[in-house]
A = this chain, B = another copy of it.
């Protein structure tokens, strides 16, 4: 399918060589999801993988008390479902489409063929996995040692840095909802709301229409007790 669409995406696909990308693209079967639709569901069997081609989705779980936990969110070029495909166990988390999503399905058989045929693919996959370990590990550290205030600041710094590419000023658009941030940092909506107000009051955050602006990532970073 559309290997050209894969070319300029980010995420996992970006770490592949042109040949590997084409070998992957040739095995994808397109599939669409509507807003809110589950792409994979935690606890269920299933070993196919998905590559996000267009749109965004959230990887996470909901507790029985209704509290949402988001592990990561994914966009064009990102891979989903690799855990279950590799270890043949039930899905470890659910993935939900946020808006319309176009994905490419890769069967486990094709996935295993790619690994066997292309050493570069296997290496890229391993680096993808270690990247996930690093980021989840960091989150455990934050949850174990920091207050909501610092966890929020660090989450904003991460998002700001990702969208600002080197600059000190960052714009987040669309701005994340407080509920969204809360589910990322293990806090409730109101706590995030209060901290956001405080940061705005101190001039560390500004609103410009539909954008949430971080005038200075460096200044925001000063807020931390704990050096990042």
- Chain A contacts to B: CB under 8 angstroms: 61, 63-65, 67, 69, 71, 82-83, 86-87, 89, 92-93, 115-116, 119, 122-123, 125-127, 129-134, 136-137, 139-141, 143-146, 186, 225-227
Contacts and interface: CB of A to CB of B under 8 A. Distances in A.
A143 B184 CA distance: 12
Given A116-B119, A126-B126, A136-B133, A144 B143 contact: yes
Copy total for this chain: 2
B86 A130 contact: yes
Contact of A129 (B61, B67, B133, B225): B133
A71 B186 contact: no
A63 B87 CA distance: 33
Given A116-B119, A136-B140, A226 B65 contact: yes
14 contacts: A64-B226, A65-B145, A67-B145, A71-B137, A83-B133, A87-B131, A92-B134, A93-B137, A122-B122, A122-B126, A126-B126, A133-B133, A136-B137, A144-B186
Most B CB within 10 A of own CB, among A86, A116, A130: A130
Nearest to A184: B144
Contacts of A134: 83, 87, 89, 92
A122 B136 CA distance: 22
Given A63-B141, A137-B92, A143-B143, A130 B69 contact: no
Contact of A69 (B71, B125, B141, B186): B141
B137 A67 contact: no
B126 A67 contact: no
